[in-house]
Structure 1
Amino acid sequence: MSFLYPLFLLGALAVAIPIVLHLLRRDVAPDVPFTAVRLLRKSPVDRSRRRRLRDLLLLAARVTALVLLAAAFARPYSPRADAAAAGLRIVAVDRSFSMAAPGRFAAALDLARSAIGEAGFAERIAVIAFDERAEVVALPGGAADARAAVSTLAPGHGATRYAAVIEKATELASGGPATLVVVSDLQRAGWDGEIRAQAPVSLTIDVRNAGMPTVNLAVADLRTDKAGVVVAVRNGSASARQGTVTLAHNGATVGRAPFNAEAESSVDVTVPWKVAASGSISATIEDPDGFPSDNTRHLVLTRAGTPTVMVVQSGEASGFFLLRALDAAGGSFEAKAVTGPEIAGGRAHEISTQAAVILLSTRNLDRAARDAIVGFVRTGGGLFIAAAPEVEPGVIAAMFGWDVAGFTVDPAPRQVSMATTDVRHPLFRPFGGLAANLGQINFHQTWRVRPDQWHVPAQFSDGSPAVLDRSEGAGRVVLFASDVDRRWNDFPLHPAFVPFAVEAVRYLSTRRDATQDILVSRVPTGLVPAPGVQTLPDGRPVAVNVDLRESSTAVLAPAEFAAAVERVAPLAEAPRDAIKAEQTEARQNLWQYGLMLMLVALAAESFAGRP
């Protein structure tokens, strides 16, 4: 018997406590002198021997309980009992989408069952299913558990990555002797872009071919142009292939076009269709002999036309100069001026469709509109706030949970100018050496903003922040500490105003994490790892597609697979023995039995302690 944490055995010294208490409780009757014993009154003799036996049983039960508690914490295990099960066989089954070709996965399962049947007497068997990730579906154990785990496997939509299964098998083996049986169609793409995998020399790798791919058609790309939708079809076969591309918009078929792809080549097919402004499209081909997952590709359609920038204004804060500046951007943006009531209530959802939002007034901005602006920013949108009498610092602070004490309005006019402190900031980078001309702008009213958690790329001549930038969730907020309507400054009359306004909107309209096309292997939590159009937690649609590297029909020979694995020395004896001890103890779980015996001892102590 060995112990994983032997220092806990020192707790067994606590057995001295009940022993000491037992000795102190011993009743020793005092000697009483009598002249004649015959004068004593007769009384029944107490059964002292029975009481002594009960006390000894109580002592033994308490000592046993303490010893078992200390042993349980020390985590006992038996190395000798586990010695017969030292061998380990790991069966790894490829479940990438290329394995869904007709008959291939059934052949892989037969090979996996055969590998399990070849296990030696008392040899432990583990099962791994892998694509981009390697998942242990059966921990080292008996053949019955391994066969049951294999029966539950099915091909998925991921791509093959051999490095993942080598790493997982090395982890399971823990430096000890083991055999890894890899059941795969041996696609060469499984090593593309991978750092060379390392495996200890104690891990024997046995590669078994489930059937090499020879034919496959795939939809490789999907894009729109003036003539319709262009679909790229890739032919991985050794001969030319023909077929038809079917185009669907939001699930309804809108067009078809034939294709003829030469061997080992790609062809662009244009499906005539007037591209819609929104929704999603998918292009599908028929390929009964290939891989089903790459027969369809999806695309989310972006809003047609130029990006829209919402300018929230009021009667006094009209944003006239800002709107003219954005109009001068050559059609890069379409500025849309709205008032608070126009985006109130149920109309607040329009905010989520904007490229950026400019806030010139908070008057008549109801709760729904405020929450929509905050949600827009925190899911990757950009917000520009111009300080002005119509923008209330308390409202801004309450919207985002900022400290309202960090925003104050100048109590009296003052004369200051502006200077850049970070010429590399995206707002001022295009100015280059001309950024010094910003010092010619006259300001006579500003906000004073405490720069905590803000980046300050420009400040006023008295040292207070002029332009502030910060992250808010997945988006950004830029605060200009004066107005843009020529009431607190003459900035709108300065030549730098137009490029400043355009660069600010361009900077904020580049939404982070705004991708509309992701791979199956990179879907966030909450989404199904399968091709299709799905909805992100922030409400944005996203097209989930397969990794096209898996569509290749190029294969490896088993010898090439083995050569791609770098052999390294196993772990040192001490770390390896420690890992093996942890695994042995985890399998045996003898501490649980120790705790159950302790409970039995306490129950016996309670029963024996009854008068």
Structure 2
Amino acid sequence: MLGFSLLVPAFLVGLLTIAVPIALHLIKRETAPTVSFSAVRLLRRTPIERTSRRRLSDWLLLMLRVVALVLLVLGYARPYSTDALGADSRPLLVVAVDISFSMTVDGQFNRALRLAEEALRGAPDDHAVAVTAFDTIAQVIAEPSFDRQSAVAKLRQLIPGTGATSYSAGLDHAAKLIGQRAGGITVISDLQFTGWRESNRARLPEKVDIRVVDIGAPLDNMALIQIRPEPDRTVAMILNSGVEVQNSSVRLLLDEQEIAQSEIIAPAGQTVEVVFPVVLPKSGEVQVVLNDSLGVAIDNSRYMLLKSPEPKSLLVVTTGENLNTDAFYLEQALGVGREQTGFQVVLIPGTNIAPLIQSTNPNNLAAVLLLTTRGLDQASQLLLAEFVANGGGVLIVAGQDVEPATVNTFLQGTLTLSHSRLTNLERNLIPANRRHTIWRAFGERLG
């Protein structure tokens, strides 16, 4: 619906000046000129009583004067169309729908879609609307617009996924979508306890209003929500979101071996603390398993890694002249995702490889990258041969610093290297920097 507003509405007071031309037209009197006639000059003058009625005359002239004053006043008031600003500047309502795995139970997601549709249709007329979906990440389903019907149609195409719940991801994404304008966020979710994490809080502008719509927890579901090791015991937290008291059992496993078990009685709608009289070691993998055949299976177990395994070493053998430059790019490439790959890159010269291999635990040595054979003495070659014989991996980067005879010696026939010359090959010149002015003459033919 079209809407208008004024930048300086105080100038509308000037519309009172419309009364001026109207008043002038009302008080204007027309006086006809006196004409003397010879036939009546000798008659006696007799006063004539007249009834004067003041009426508007010259309607066209009056309307032009009034319109001129109105346009002048509106020009100073500076009107503009609010719809011309578009959805990018009008207030925005973002409906964020939880599509995590817990929404797949007992028609939860159908209730969520119905409540989200009600939120979209109930948005104020001057608000644009948008739809986002979130689990561990958030995505835009319907871009900001005034088309409620299109947003509802895209909303109905949503399906729940298999991810966990992260409210911070959903709120942060919705806040970025709103930007600097006013607006609000309506969150449609089953309000999973694990969706909030202390280390990952959402930050929202003060002018953004938040409305949370709880679709309700699924009936008869128990969830394992926390594992907490303590100095003298191990604690697990169980949430019964059902409407009836539940009896169940909880098992504690260490490195896939059961070490404790406990029977619990969980009141409806409450959290139960399960205490295992077990002190966990400093390392290992802990798992707590809840027996809940009626609820959601994905929240019946939780894992905890007590200590990360020691990262494996990856030895890179260089020339030893400058360790920071000889294998700089290789070290940077291997460093990508180092936390996920779990290895530590160690740059060493060939002359120091023997003592380092001897001091390294064989179980923590992932592989050896051989960039050069210079400086490899007989002891280092024997250690490399033993490492390969025991199943270790050696990556040989063939180049001018790698001598085939040395490699053949410590590999002892496992792999044979030899010099060879490539002949009868077509050679092409490829520019290293296409932006250089010398290559402009080649145009699109530049390879």
Q: Tell me, yes or no, whether TM beats 0.5.
A: no
Q: Return the index of the structure with the highest Cα Rg.
A: 2
Q: Which has the higher contact order (CA 8 A, sep 6+)?
A: 1
User: What is the TM-score when the length of structure 2 is the normalising length?
Assistant: 0.43
